[in-house]
Structure 1
Amino acid sequence: MADKLEVSQQTINAIEKGKFDPSLPLAFKLARLFSMSIESIFDDEVRVDAESG
């Protein structure tokens, strides 16, 4: 997956663990790769921010 997204495996691991938020261009690549909307990439983050805010 890292190769397809043109990022390091460390970046993928950090995103999966919630330690790194993908840049907008990377989020678009993730959305295309998984056939998801861009909103769904950030959906959990928005929900968490709203709950803590």
Structure 2
Amino acid sequence: MREEGVDEEQIAAAFFVDIVRQRLQLAAVIEALLDFYAEDQLRADEDTYMPSVAWA
């Protein structure tokens, strides 16, 4: 980005937005998993493979 003439503030803003977006997406996934646990739709042994599936 720097080579393309983007200044430091713009670079920082771009990455901060990406980080915030990632955190919000993670929060949504965690909330959904907690709902599944609460409704007994997900067992503890089933969540061990979930991260590799979710990020593939």
| TM norm structure 2 | 0.30
| TM norm structure 1 | 0.32
State which structure, 1 or 2, has the greater radius of gyration over its C-alpha atoms. Answer: 2
Greater RCO, 1 or 2 (C-alpha within 8 Å, sep 6+): 1
